[in-house]
Chain A
Amino acid sequence: MSDFLLATAGAILFAVAVGLVRVLGGPGDADRIMAAQLIGTGGIASLLLIAAATGAQGVDDVALGLAILAAFASAAFVNSAAPAGEPASNSGDDR
């Protein structure tokens, strides 16, 4: 069973690696910031699987910390993309 868990962790890391190849080089910043999102979700999944397979203690807290901070890179990206003077809310331009 633990071999299966490790193999699935490896498969997810492989999927993340292939995805990284695509988005890290992708045109535009939005593609690149998706890389942070990709590694966040995939990393948490691999982490949980590896922890279940190897029985490491205290890994729950690492996964919790990663989950809490998962969207921070995207938030920082969007926050710094808008110049200081621009209106903060874009809810007006929805159709």
Chain B
Amino acid sequence: MSVLLALDVGLALLVFAVAAWTVFAPGAFAATVGYVVYGLLLSLVWIRLFAVDVALTEAAIGSGVTGVLLIGAAARLRRAGTTTAEETPSGSTRLFAACLCLLVSAALAGVVLLLPDQGPTLAPQAMERLPETGLGNPVTAVLIAYRSFDTVLEKVVLVLAVVGVWSLAADRYWGGAPGEARAERPEPTLAFFAQVLAPVGILVGVHVFWVGADEPGGAFQGGAILAAMWMILMMARLTEAPQSNAFWLRLALIAGPVVFLAAGVAGVAVAGGFFAYPSGLAKPIILFIETFMTFTIAVTLAMLVAGPPRREPRQ
């Protein structure tokens, strides 16, 4: 048994153990921390599976965005009081859910293990046409060149998610700002941390987005890191969340999908097909679209974590 195989088996067992603990954890907060740990271990697994783009996304979203969201939600739930007996699922419901999950896992494992050694794949064709797009990263090519319509729809889903979160606000708060107001004396530790980290983080976020054209990275990962920087500034109370009826905010939320869709429609006139790019101009157009997408993703994720408006709108 080689060292690498032993390491892989150990990592897999650790992931299983943490996942099992998360399921049986005592209380929502403990389960949330277990989930964050599980996410970080998963990005190690993605590295071992040579899916570095996915590992970057898992690291950025799992520890930055989802972790903060869940921990805030768990703490808020605890402050609101414990759940009543009717709200916790019964034993038979849990057993049914467990059986369903096991069935899905077994099916997935069976499919993966029974795959032929050279399974059906489009990877060679994708790599073959890569130079035409001007990109070096096949994942980015799939997202923005080969399969762009799907990506546009995903960005639209993000906008819908923000609308859904905002609709949770009480009527009188509609249009107001989520989160707490800016503090006159922000907590010194968090303030120092945010002030030192934010410039570095913004630089790294832009770098990850820009380098995604040729190496692992891309708009989503860069946008997630930028969102995290905005979130830490809001958490440190150095800045406050914008009002949800602010025009610039709403423009920022739709800028990405709108620009992407416009490029797709323009492709009909200019390059002869929906979402076709004129040859030779593909890479600049892709980077142009990705710039707006990164901006939208950053604003969207930060607003999702900030939550529904909790203050009345100022006029």
Residues of A bordering B, CB below 8 Å: 3, 6-7, 9-10, 13-14, 16-17, 20, 24, 29, 32-33, 35-36, 39-40, 43, 46-47, 50-51, 53-54, 56-59, 61-62, 64-66, 68-73, 75-81, 83-84, 88-91
Contact = CB atoms under 8 A, between A and B. Distances in A.
Nearest to B9: A10
Given A6-B3, A65-B56, A88-B187, A46 B44 contact: yes
Q: Chain B contact residues: over half helix, strand or loop, or mixed?
A: helix
A76 B235 contact: yes
A61 B68 contact: no
B185 A88 contact: yes
B44 A43 contact: yes
A80 B47 contact: no
Given A50-B48, A61-B216, A13 B14 contact: yes
B43 A62 contact: yes
11 contacts: A13-B11, A24-B30, A24-B33, A39-B40, A53-B4, A66-B40, A68-B200, A68-B228, A72-B232, A73-B33, A89-B187
Interface in B55-82: 55-56, 59-60, 63-64, 67-68, 71-72, 74-76, 79
B309 to A, nearest CB: 14
B63 A35 contact: no
Interface residues of B, number: 66
B246 interface: no
A81 B208 CA distance: 32
B251 interface: no
B186 A88 contact: yes
Contact of A66 (B59, B185, B197): B59
Q: Chain A contact residues: over half helix, strand or loop, or mixed?
A: helix
B67 A59 contact: no
B193 A71 contact: yes
Contacts of B164: none
B10 A14 contact: yes
Contacts of A14: 10
A49 B302 CA distance: 32
A83 to B, nearest CB: 7
A50 B59 contact: no
Contact of A91 (B2, B188, B235): B188
Interface string B158-189: 00000000000000000000001001011110
